[in-house]
Each structure stands twice: as C-alpha cells, then as structure tokens.
Structure 1
Amino acid sequence: MNIRNIAIIAHVDHGKTTLVDRILHTTKVFRDNQDTGDLIMDNNDLERERGITIFSKNAAVTYEGVKINVIDTPGHSDFGGEVERVLKMADGVILLVDAFEGPMPQTRFVLQKALQLNLHPIVVINKVDKPNCRPEEVHDAVFELFFNLDATEEQLNFPTFYGSGKNGWFNDSLTPTDNILPLMDGILKYVPEPQVEEGTLQMQITSLDYSSFLGRIAVGKVTRGTIRENQPIALVQRDGSIRKSRVKELYVFEGMGKKKVAEVLAGDLCAVVGLEDFNIGDTIADAENPEGLPVISVDEPTMSMLFSINNSPFFGKDGKFVTSRHLRDRLMKETEKNLALRVEETDSADSFLVYGRGILHLGVLVETMRREGFEMTIGQPQVLVKQIDGKKCEPYETLVVDVPSDYSGKVIDLVTQRKGEMQVMESKGEIHHLEFDIPSRGLIGLRSQMLTNTAGEAVMAHRFREYKPWKGVIPGRINGVLISKNQSPTTAYSIDKLQDRGAFFVDPGEEVYIGQIIAEHIKPGDLVVNATEGKKLTNMRASGSDDSVRIVPKIQMTLEECMEYIQQDECIEVTPRHIRLRKIYLNEEDRRKYQKMQKVEGA
C-alpha cells in the first residue's frame, strides 16, 4: 500500500488543528451523522480550554487508496521539544501561515528544522477570508524566509495553496471551492513516498505513548527492514549500549486510533508494545547485527522552578497527593515522556528543581498535576545561567510584537526597560511589526504589562535564540503587597477600610492565613494588614453610618500570571481548588531575618 507521512507545522493559532479536522472529515474517518465537534485532535481538557496544542498526535487517513499518516504538532515555542523529534517521522511538511500575520518566529524555528531534515514542504496560506488579509505579500515573505534559511533549489520551488480551514476549502489559487480536495491531491503529488533503504531492521523511537494496560509504548517510523510481532530485537541506546528485548504487540495508526497488526513494513509509522527501559532517541534494531541511528538532540531547557510540598496552614485540605514521595514519583514519570523537561533533587528531601523551556511549559505541568489531585508549593521561575569562556551568560530570545501604531511607543519603552534591543520595525498598514533581542528574564511578567499598556491589542511571540553575556539587573515588580496578619475568614468591613491601600486578590468571607498575600499595595514595600476584623456593633445609630459597603471584585489571576507576578521571597500554593500567593517565610520575624541576610550577601 502507498504511504505518505506528513507533519503539519505552524505558529500558534494559525489553524493546524482545524486543518486536521477538515482532513479527517474529507476522508470519511467518521460517519456522516456522527457529532465530532471542533478541534478533534485536541482531546486533552487543558488543550481545549487554552485553545492550543500541547502534545503532538498522530492520525492516519486513506485517500485515493493511499495511506496518509498525519502528525499534528504544537505551535507554541515552549513545546518545541515535541516538534523537533516528531519531524523525524515525516517525509513532507505542510507549513501553515496566517494570511494576515505571515511567518512568525516559531514558523522560522520549525521550518529550519524541517529543511535541515530535507523534508518536502507544501505552503498553505490559511484564513484568506479575514479582513485586511494579504495572501500575495505573505507568499513573498514565506519565499524570503525559505531563502534566508538556505533552502535547496527544490525546496524553494514549493507549491502554495490558499484557503480557509474554518470555511472548509483549500485551492491552488484564490478562487474559493467547497472542499479541500485540491490540497489532498497536492499531498499525494508533492510529498514523496518514504525513502526505504535495503538492510536489516531499524526504527528510531521518536515518541512515547502510555497505557495503563500495556505500559509504555514506543512510537516511531520503521526506516529499514520489517518489524514483526514476537520478534527478538536489540535496543541500541543513547550511550551506545545494546540490550536484547522482544516485541510483544504491534500497532499501526488508523483514523484517530490504533489497529493491531502482525507486521509493519519500512516507511510506515507504528507503536511497539513490550519493550522496557527505553528512551526517546533509542533505535530498535536487528537482534543479530544491530545498527543504531543518530541520536535525536533536543534544545536545552532555559528556565527552572522549585517544586516543594505544600507546607501552609491549609495543607491537605483539598488534595489527595501531598507527600514528597508522591511529588517525586509524579515528576520522574513526567520526564519519561516530556523530553524538554529535567528534574533534579535538592539538598532538601521535600523540594525538587524542575527545568523546562518556558513559563507555559512549566505552567501546563503544574496545572495537569493539580487536576490530578496534587498539592504543592512552587517558587519564582529562574533563567538558567551558564559560564561560557569564563563569562556569565544568560539565554536571549527573539521577541516579535504586532501592535497598532498608536501603541508602538509604549511597547518599545516597556521592552527597552527590560534590556531589550530593537532589531526590526516595519509597518503593515495600521499595524507596526516590531522585533527585539531580549534576555529571557525580561519576558517574565512582560505579557500582562504589555496587554495593559496596549488595551489588549498587542500580539506577542518569542523563541529562544542563543546564550549571550549577562545584561545586568532588570527591574521587577515595582509595587509591594499586603500580607495577612491573622488566620480567619476576611470581612467586608475590613476590606472596605483597606481598599484605598491596594487591589485585593481575595473576596470577603474567604479563609486566609498568616503570611498569605491578599492584595497588591499601591506603593513599593510590603504591609502587614488585618483583613479579618468584624464591625463592632453598638446600640447607637447615626445616619449614614450603616450604608452598605461597596467592595471592588477581586483580581482573578491565572497560574501563569501568578508565576510571572511573584518575587524571589514569595511562592504560590497550588491545590486542586485554590491558587494562593504567599511569602516563603510566613512569620514576620523570619522575613526580617531573611531580608537582613540578603542585604549582607548583596553588600
């Protein structure tokens, strides 16, 4: 049977998952009367809520007698580790670009990886139904990007399709049709069949799956030979060591699921059950004369965060898993399938240092764990510093901001304060396109400030670039916080009296404890306040004194916003039902001692 393996790559929110939906419907994977909803491949709750793809996924469809393995990849740079390895399974890529925004930083990053692997590209310019879209200009920008990335003559001669995934049409011209068949024909025409070499079995493990019945499942593409059920194999590991094993069961992808088979020929993607202690990048090879494939390299993490057990007075009220053993086992299990994540044990048995690609990458892990019933305390995200040629170096990122021209001055001012340097400034009609070189530290907390200063109009994206010399101190949060003095429910009477001191994170009647952060102060410096005092009742009444109090609703912050908000002496208590900000040292006396130590060390 003919096979085509194709990965869909694009910047976040350019329409990859919607395109996969259209392919699944066009190839009749579902019955006509079956209600499938939208974003079929984003089957994880977190993905649906946030509207982003987090994990790469496989589907297989049959069109005109040809089996097409479709790989949907994440578009956010924090999940770049997923994209880098799954591209190894593909022979061609569909590069999806928004007809208004054009190529974005993540587009450049994944396209570069695809071109280096010599994959055949098809460019799809999506959302041509949007107002102000400029498909011809975007096509020229894509060509320029290919040229800048040293594409070969053959790759520069890429086919282009235009359309709207939302409205369900793609064509090789700007004339709307009522289906995506021109694009499906283009996949068969322009994506080559897998290149199969002669020789014994070789299959690189590029992805992991997990089943509570079958255990860990190895997923990859058979590049050479044939793999059969019950076949003895050799597992060639990253360090060159070889371990003997046996294939218990074999599955190929079919529609949205998997189908059990007796053998898989070279060129097809498959899932292997029965192997133990394998890692991504290992090669499944012939038992008699094993040959390993080059190891997959994934970019290093750029950020770390301290995960500890929850030691607040409200410990154990919400969660099922609260001990350090639970926390350790869960983090170690995550490293098995999350390639860009690393976990290190610290001097304290209750704390673990977790390294990831960015705030969203680490935030998704914390959010997943709290939904599973974990309680924990997480510290302020820190960037990883390296010593290169005897100099202290930190990670730098390329930051791209598209903003209405009225606000461009505010954006430049904000980024410059955080040690960013402007590289590009172009105008696209009413919109200004700005590109900066900025230390990763400068991005922490930038998004919320940027949206506030541009009335929510700014669209920003960033990706890791390189390590460069340390840029000096970057100013953090200017305002201090209000800290609770007592452990008790808050009262409307107290909050009303304190409203002119700051903006509150708690509502009246909410339980708080000593050392919990309950509001943002209007001035620099922290203040300990009593928000739990009730009104003293007397038998005297004066006109106007009993007017109902008017409380401003509390500020609701997401987990990522909290991670960007906290300072070095603060942390976040995360439980299945609550996210609370608190000081690391709950006792005021301990906080003073800590501040004195910091001053001594700083001096």
Structure 2
Amino acid sequence: MWCLASHNRTYATVDLHLSPACNPGPRHRRQPTRVTQASTLTESSTRTRDDIRNVAIIAHVDHGKTTLVDAMLRQSGQVDSRTDIPDRVLDNTDLEREKGITILAKNVAVRRGDIKINIVDTPGHADFGGEVERGLTMVDGVLLLVDASEGPLPQTRFVLRKALEAHLPIILVVNKVDRPDRRIKEVVDGVYELFLDLDASEEQFDFPIVYTNARDGLASLDPGVQGESLDPLFDVLLRRIPAPRYTPGHGLQALVTNLDASKYVGRLALCRIVEGTIRNGQQVAWCRRDGSIENAKIAELLVAEGLDRVPAAEASAGDIIAIAGIPEITIGETLADPSDPEPLPVFQVDEPSVSVTIGINTSPLAGKEGTLLTARLLKNRLDQEVIGNVSIRVLNSRRPDAWEVQGRGELQLAVLVETLRREGFELTVGRPEVLTREIDGKLHEPVETLTIDIPEEFLGSVTQLMAARKGRHEHMVNHGTGRVRVDYIIPSRGLIGFHTEFLTETRGTGIAHHVFHGYEPWHGEIRSRTTGSLVADRSGAVTGFAIASLQERGQLFVGPGAQVYEGMIVGENPRIHDMDVNPTREKKLTNMRSSTADIAEKLTPPTILSLEQALEFIREDECLEVTPKSVRARKVELVGHIRARQKS
C-alpha cells in the first residue's frame, strides 16, 4: 500500500498485487517510496472528483491500442445498441483504416459502475507526436501497451518519454499474450530497462502489469492464467489512475487541446476543464495565444458518452468537453472566468525535422483529374491544416504558387498530401529534405534510432546497406528464432528512400521502425539512390510496341494507353544515369503480318508506385505530380535540352 505524489498532487492510495513473474529482477527492483501526509498537498481545500478517470492509451504503432478500446467499449455496455460496430471503431477515417494506424488522437467514454472513464486513443507513430502530446494534456494517467512478442520498440520509447515528462502514473499492459512467439518475461524486463533509461521517478517505476488479449477482450494479472474478461484491467485502472483534483470555488480554466467540426454548429473546441464549471450559454473569457482576451459565449456544450457526443447543461473540473460558438478559437488557448481571466500554460511540441515543398500542379496534364487547382485554394487549405495540427508549419518558398511544409517525418507529410489529393487537389510535391541546425558554429542534422528485425541470412547485405547510409551500429540481439534485432543511429537523410531498398534486400521479410533521436554533426554525403530514371522525351499515349522494347532497359511505371509528357519519369534505369526514352513509338506499317497476341504476351505489368514509395524514389532534381487519380514522377525541369545544359 502506498500513495503516489507528483506535481504537488496526492494520488489515491493503491494496493497493487504483482505476480512473481511481473516483479523486476534484482537489478531492476526499487523499493516503493512511502509518501507521508506531510508531503501531500498543502492546499487542504483541494478535492477530488471520484466519479471520473481520464486515461490515455499509448503504444508503438500496431500493438493494439484501438483494438483494446473496442473491447473496453463492448464490455462496458456502451455499445449495446451498436452490435454491428466495425473493428477498430476509433480509426474512423479512410486513411487510418487503410494504413492500419491511428493518425488523430480521439476520445470516448465508458462507464464502470458510477465512474466515467474518458479514454484518449493516441497515435503510436512519432510522426504524429503532436497528437500524442495534446492527448497527454487531457489525462491523469496512461496505459502503456506493449506487444508480448515484439516488446518495446522505438515508438514505445517516444510515447513513454512523453508520458514520463508529463509526470503521469503508468499501467503496463502486455498485449497479444496469445501469440505463439510470445516472450512475456523478456518483454517485461525490456520495459523495466526502458524506464531506467528514461530516468523514471520511483513512483512511476512501481507500475502494475496487466496481461491482455485485446482481440478477444481478456485480461489477467497472472501471465500463466487466461482471464475471462477485461475486469482485471478496469479494476487496476480505477485504483492506479488518480481522480482529477480541483479547488472548490475556483474560477473556470479550460485548455483547448484539439479541434473538430460539426456540420450543424461549426468549429468545435475540445477542452479539458482544469478548474471551475462551464455551462451551456455561459459568457466566458477567451484567452488567445497572442495574449489578448475577448468575451465569448458558449453556444453548445457537449460531453462524450460511449462513441457519441451528447449535449450537457454543465460540466465541471476533470470533464473532457467539446464547445461550439467561437469560430476562430484554436489549440493552446484557454477559456476562463470573465471576472478573473487566468490563461493556462501552452503545451510545447517537438520541433519539425523534415520538410517538403507543396505547390499547385504545373505539369502538361494539369486540370484534367482534380477540382481544386488554384494557389489560393491550396494556401487556404494549408493554413487550415496549421490551425488543427500543431506539429505542422507552413512557410513561403521562392515560388508564389508553392509552400514549404515542415513536419515530424516523411509519413506525416505523406498523409497530409494523401488527404489533400482525396479532397480534389492537384499538387506538385518536392523531395523530402531534412531540417539542419547550426550548433556551436557547426552544421548539425537530425538523426534517428532505427530498429530492424530481419532473418539472419540477410544480416550481411543489410549491414552494407546501413554503412552506405551512414548508419552507426548500436546494439544487436539474437532471439534464437532465426531472426535478429539490430539498433542503429542513422541520419534522417539516410532514411529517405531506405524502406524500398530495405524490403528489396530482405525480400519483403524485414521489419524496420525508427524514431527521432537528436541532432549530430553533419555526416557527409549520402547517395540516396544508385539507379537512374527512364524519362519520356515527348508527349503522347504509351504504346505496347514501345513498352516491349523498353522493358528490357529497366522497370517501367506506365502501361499501354497511359498519357505521358516530356520530362515524365516512366521507369527506373538499373544504371545510375538517366536515360531519355520514347514510350510512344509505334510500329511502322508494312505488308508483313504479325500476331498482336504475341506482343501482348511479352509485356510485363508496370510497377505502380504508391505515394510513399514515389516520395522515396525521387531524387533532388525530381518531383511528384499528385492528383486524385494518379501519382506521377517527373523532372523538375521538363525540357530535355535545358536539363542537359544545366548538368553541363
């Protein structure tokens, strides 16, 4: 039995029973610190709201966060009337379902007896770390989800570091314990090592462990016993996660952590009420980011119930709410008491490390596949993205119809471009570039921690690949299953175009994850691609006759009938140099007959690049044409003789 104290708050007394398999070994174990009454809050007037718990679920991507939320919703009785809800119900955008990842932080509410549990589901990928940081400002504790086989991975370190920096209590959830290749003891030891590496406090280090099979909705406190429901998880959650604290009589303070929209009431601001009470129709002080304070009226007040937002007459400290009526409100601003407007501190997010240039489509095929074509529409849309995405920045470029967009990583920027194309934009997208810094008079660049999991037979070829990309070997573990896990520190530049080459070297069997590590001195030149491009030298329709001869020169990206233009990249040349080709060449008419079926049989299907693959493929003098229907690689300078003159 002990009390947990952090940030001048006293957490509820917790009685945790860890099974022998859960307890850390001698090298890990720390004695829990007993917090006496003298070290508790000096403000005796503060109270707790015992009818609410606010918790976030954090994990590496694809370790089962959203699946666990599904099971908690079902077993709490919040979705009885929705028996046909889909799996991963919180991944409700097309992109999230297609990619199998969570991109936007979102929250639902479940009830356990008289207690309401607000659950915030956060992304597991560091590229969407801005969503993680916002989600953590809304909660009082976290569930750390770890795969029973894969264990802690780079993104696990990232999201856990954010939770520890916020001084939040942790519950470790070892998920997928039904996997045949589970390594529960090793995984738990790995988590303790991770807590040590991240300098967790003694209170944070003494965390309970729950073993779950989220897919089947089972939980247990003993790894050797299969649970019957998620009851053990709910019980530990209610004991470990502290109830929100507040000061009776304190004026309103609510921090805006996210934005949403409703077709009925317009912009919604998602807030965590820190102090006071808010009512529907109330006049509040709107504390803006620029320091100004304006009066505003709450037109609509909503709270989460299950998967829905329902109207409420009032909400108090500890509640997570959505309010309407302030069209220009944005993230990081505060709603306060008009008689004593006191803004809350604005949370900080990590700086962007990658940039890409996004402009309107300038190719000869512009305007044929999209509906949103002008620079004004694109600029308005990018400005709108900045309002709702705190980790994105938009800067002017040298061209009036293009902008430099900075973000956390290649995946985040690719998701933004994919979202824009689905909305109807036609875009020209440049090659991703890293953002350098000057530290102590020397040029520094971002580096990342890369963890790869590969079969043993590919270790040699992958080592050569990493050496060419300036990767520095840090650690290697052989699990004795025929696969090895290797950790590298690698410049972010070295990861541009890495995944395609890595999958080729490992024949599709390799797994790679990376997360931002820090800045190091410039590592020198890195050759991103050892192949060249096959570039169309004229416009027209691709013919089967031309393809039959061109496919011997390299891998093609277009098939018969496709429209091409001068400067468009139609394939990959196995040699390092570019080659101008004519993909529209037709067969000369003669009086000799031949079977067209013979030609068709010889044609190899083209390789269709996804947006992420195309971003990895292009080099410095190349860019992408992105439309709602197509992704085409092209040269920045389309005219061949001008390109040749520039090279010379």
TM norm structure 2:
0.89
Per-residue CA deviation, residues 432-454 of structure 1 (Å, 9 max, x unaligned), is 22111111101101111111111
Q: Decide whether the 8 Å contact of 2:72 with 2:217 is kept in 1.
A: no
Amino acid at match of 2:89: I
Partner of 1:186: 236
Q: Is the 8 A contact 1:24 1:30 kept in 2?
A: yes
Q: Classify the secondary structure of the residue corresponding to 2:345.
A: coil
Q: Does 1:460 align with 2:509?
A: no
SS of residue matched to 1:213:
coil
Q: Which runs of 5+ in 2 are unaligned?
A: 1-49
In structure 2, the CA distance between the partners of 1:550 and 1:544, relative to structure 1 (3 Å rule), is closer
CA 1:229 to 1:493, structure 2 compared with 1: closer, same or farther past 3 Å? same
Distance 1:347 1:328 in 2: 15
Deviation at 1:543, TM superposition (A): 11
TM alignment of 1:196-275, pairs within 5 A: 196-198=246-248, 199-275=250-326
Q: What CA distance in whole angstroms lies between the structure 2 residues aligned with 1:559 and 1:285?
A: 44
| 1:102-501 equivalent positions in 2, closer than 5 A | 102-174=151-223, 175-198=225-248, 199-430=250-481, 431-501=483-553
Greater mean deviation of Cα atoms: 322-331 or 284-293? 284-293
Cα distance in structure 2, aligned partners of 1:80 and 1:309: 28
Question: Distance between the aligned counterparts of 1:97 and 1:540, measured in 2?
Answer: 68
CA shift in 2, pair 1:189/1:389, >3 Å:
same
SS in structure 1 at match of 2:207: coil
What does 1:62-73 correspond to in 2, within 5 Å? 62-73=111-122
Tell me the alpha carbon deviations over residues 290-316 of structure 1, each in whole angstroms, 9 at most, x when there is no partner.
Answer: 212221101011111111111111111
Partner Cα distance (1:107, 1:380) in 2? 28
DSSP-derived class of the 2:551 partner: helix
Q: 2: CA distance between counterparts of 1:76 and 1:566?
A: 24
Identify the range of structure 1 (139-148 vs 554-563) with the bigger mean alpha-carbon deviation: 139-148
- State the alpha-carbon separation in 1 of the partners of residues 93 and 608 from structure 2: 24
Of residues 86, 92, 97 in structure 2, which corresponds to 1:48? 97
| Deviation digits for residues 206-228 of structure 1 (CA, Å, limit 9, x no counterpart) | 11112233222111211111112
Give the 3 Å change call, closer, same or farther, for CA 197–544 of structure 1 in structure 2.
closer
Counterpart selection for 2:642 from 590, 593, 597? 590
Q: 2:65 aligns with which of 8, 12, 16?
A: 16
Determine the C-alpha separation between the residues in 1 that align with 2:604 and 2:429: 28
- The answer on whether the counterparts of 1:493 and 1:549 sit within 8 Å (CA) in structure 2 is no
Q: Distance in 2 between matches of 1:203 and 1:177?
A: 39
Measured after TM superposition, the shift of residue 31 of structure 1 is 2.5
CA distance in 2, matches of 1:287, 1:251: 21
Select between 114-123 and 5-14 the one with higher mean Cα deviation: 114-123
Q: What is the DSSP-based 3-state SS (H/G/I as helix, E as strand, rest coil) of the residue aligned with 1:252?
A: strand
Shift in alpha-carbon separation, 1:300–1:548, aligned structure 2, 3 A: closer
RMSD value over aligned CA atoms? Answer: 1.7
The amino acid of 2:243's aligned partner reads E
State the AA in 1 paired with 2:541: P
- Give the letter aligned to residue 280 of structure 1: I
The one-character-per-residue Cα deviations of 1:221-278 (angstroms, maximum 9, x if unpaired) are 1111111222222222334332332222211111111111121110111112112433
Q: Secondary structure at the match of 1:501?
A: coil
Cα deviation, 1:449-474, whole Å, max 9, x if unaligned, reads 11111122221111112122111110
Deviation at 1:546, TM superposition (A): 6.1
The 8 Å contact of residues 544 and 599 in structure 2, kept in 1 or not, is answered as no
| Structure 1 CA distance for aligned equivalents of residues 611 and 491 of structure 2 | 22
CA distance in 1, matches of 2:368, 2:596: 41
Which amino acid is the alignment partner of residue 232 of structure 1? Q
Q: CA deviation at 1:149?
A: 1.8
SS in 1 for 2:514: strand
Matching residue's letter, 2:74 = H
| Paired residues of 1:570 and 1:583 also in contact (CA < 8 A) | yes
Alpha-carbon distance in 1 for matches of 2:596, 2:251: 90
CA distance in 2, matches of 1:425, 1:555: 35
Contact 2:544 2:600 in 1 (8 A): no
Report the counterpart of residue 100 of structure 1 in structure 2: 149
TM score, norm. by length of structure 1: 0.96
Cα deviation per residue 1:320-375 (whole Å; 9 max; x = unaligned)? 00111111111111111011111112232211111111111011111111111110
C-alpha displacement of 1:98: 0.3
Q: Are 1:570 and 2:622 counterparts?
A: yes
Aligned residues of 1:496 and 1:549 also touching (Cα < 8 A): no
1:95 to partner: Cα distance: 0.4
Which AA in structure 2 matches 1:437? Answer: I
In structure 2, C-alpha distance between the alignment counterparts of 1:223 and 1:543, rounded to whole Å: 77
Q: Structure 1: how far apart are the matches of 2:561 and 2:92?
A: 37
Cα distance in 2 for partners of 1:33, 1:296 equals 36
Name the CA distance, whole Å, in 2 between partners of 1:141 and 1:212.
Answer: 47
Distance 1:148 1:550, change over 3 A: same
Alpha-carbon displacement from aligned partner over 1:515-569 (angstroms, at most 9, x marks no partner) = 1110111212111111112222322358999665511111121101100110111
